[in-house]
Amino acid sequence: MTVQDGAKQAQGYVFNPTWDLETERLITNEAIWDPGTIERFERLGVDRGWACLEVGAGAGGAAEWLLERVGSTGRVVAADLEVGRLDRLAERGVEVLRNDLRTEELPAESFDLVHARMLIQHLQDREAAVARLIRALRPGGWLFVEDTDSLPLFRSYRSERFLTDIKEAGYGLMRQAGHEPRGGHFDLEIALNSELTEVSAEGRVVMVHGGSEQARHYQLWLEFMRPKIVAAGLLSDARIDEAIAEMGDPANRWLSQVLISTFGRKPPATDTGGNR
Ligand SMILES: C[S@@+](CC[C@H](N)C(=O)[O-])C[C@H]1O[C@@H](n2cnc3c(N)ncnc32)[C@H](O)[C@@H]1O
């Protein structure tokens, strides 16, 4: 796939799936969020024999954990716009599916768990995307979607203004490109207004240490946003270099976004009423 193809396919998605540092950006995102996601998989009771669908699978960390958990009697499908990063999992038995959640249906009524992290908040028609995820659930299956509220990002003991200019510039442009910075809240609203039962939500925040693998994710985010921020006249290259150095400094610590996890269960086939 050419860079132009990648950009066209992801039109309306702020990041570029074919950017040369995108795989590292996704792997470092997993370093921030996979531990908490896995705790929640455990809590949902994901077990041997489950059929699981991971949508917007990114670098495949969550799909890999699911594969190990469900074992040879289970099934894991990993879907994404850009599936090259998932080849290593295909070799191990994950079914890799190239899918554009904006326009393409997923296998219907097929999964005990459908999980999507940091995907829905990038899409224009979030209701339609969640409806597609719900259609993929078997009766009794769990929807588990995770999106952010960016409010606490970069809160730090260092100063009230720590990286606030960077956040304002970067998130302002992301919003213009279609990213919803309060996406997690809307996931809950959509779930509450759907056929799902047992709907609940919660948020988690990670303390990021400068110079860590988690901090590297924010450095890569800023490198990706750099040309857009500079072209828009919001900040200089020199200020961006300085901010990237601040993120690399072990003396700095800051909060991540809140990641809001929303859960809901498709009514079992025999269930004739909701219990919300
Ligand atoms: C912000 S990344 C999150 C990746 C991964 N879920 C994680 O949390 O580490 C969003 C992922 O969704 C994929 N994606 C973006 N738009 C998509 C679409 N319309 N349909 C399916 N996948 C999409 C991207 O290629 C990328 O892998």
CATH code for the domain of 190: 3.40.50.150
37 in contact with ligand 1, CB cutoff 6 A: no
Residue 3 pLDDT grade (very low, low, confident, very high; cuts 50, 70, 90): very low
Q: Looking at the domain assignment, is residue 272 inside a domain?
A: no
81 in contact with ligand 1, CB cutoff 6 A: yes
Q: Looking at the domain assignment, is residue 271 inside a domain?
A: no
CB-based contact 77:107 (threshold 8 Å): yes
Classify residue 135 as exposed, middle or buried by CB count within 10 Å of its CB (0-12, 13-18, 19+).
middle
Cα 100 to Cα 8: distance, rounded to the nearest angstrom: 12
Per the rule left: phi > 0, alpha: psi between -120 and 50, beta: everything else, 78 is beta
119 in contact with ligand 1, CB cutoff 6 A: yes
Q: With 90 as the cut, is the pLDDT of residue 275 above it?
A: no
Residue 270 pLDDT grade (very low, low, confident, very high; cuts 50, 70, 90): confident
Cα 129 to Cα 162: distance, rounded to the nearest angstrom: 35
Question: Which pair of tokens denotes residue 185?
Answer: 């809240």
Cα 258 to Cα 80: distance, rounded to the nearest angstrom: 23
Angle between helix axes 22-44 and 61-70 (nearest 10 degrees) is: 40
Q: Looking at the domain assignment, is residue 117 inside a domain?
A: yes
Q: Looking at the domain assignment, is residue 273 inside a domain?
A: no
Structural domain boundaries, residue 7:
3-265
Average pLDDT over residues 170-176: 96
Cα 188 to Cα 249: distance, rounded to the nearest angstrom: 36
Atom 1 of ligand 1, residue of closest alpha carbon: 118
Q: Looking at the domain assignment, is residue 239 inside a domain?
A: yes
Count of structural domains, the chain: 1
Q: Looking at the domain assignment, is residue 276 inside a domain?
A: no
Tell me the pLDDT tens digit for each residue of 59-76: 999 999 999 999 999 999
Tell me the pLDDT tens digit for each residue of 73-120: 999 999 999 999 999 999 999 999 999 999 999 999 999 999 999 999
Q: What is the DSSP string of 33-83?
A: HHHHHHHHHHHHT--TT-EEEEES-TTSHHHHHHHHHH-TTSEEEEEES--
82 in contact with ligand 1, CB cutoff 6 A: yes
What residues form DSSP beta bridges with 79?
55, 97
Mutate to test the pocket of ligand 1, among 119, 217, 224 (most ligand atoms within 8 A of CB): 119
Cα 174 to Cα 225: distance, rounded to the nearest angstrom: 9
Question: Which pair of tokens denotes residue 246?
Answer: 């601040």
What pTM, to 2 d.p., does this model score? Answer: 0.93
Q: Looking at the domain assignment, is residue 40 inside a domain?
A: yes
Q: Looking at the domain assignment, is residue 275 inside a domain?
A: no
Phi, psi angles (nearest 5°) of residue 119:
-120, -50
Cα 133 to Cα 38: distance, rounded to the nearest angstrom: 19
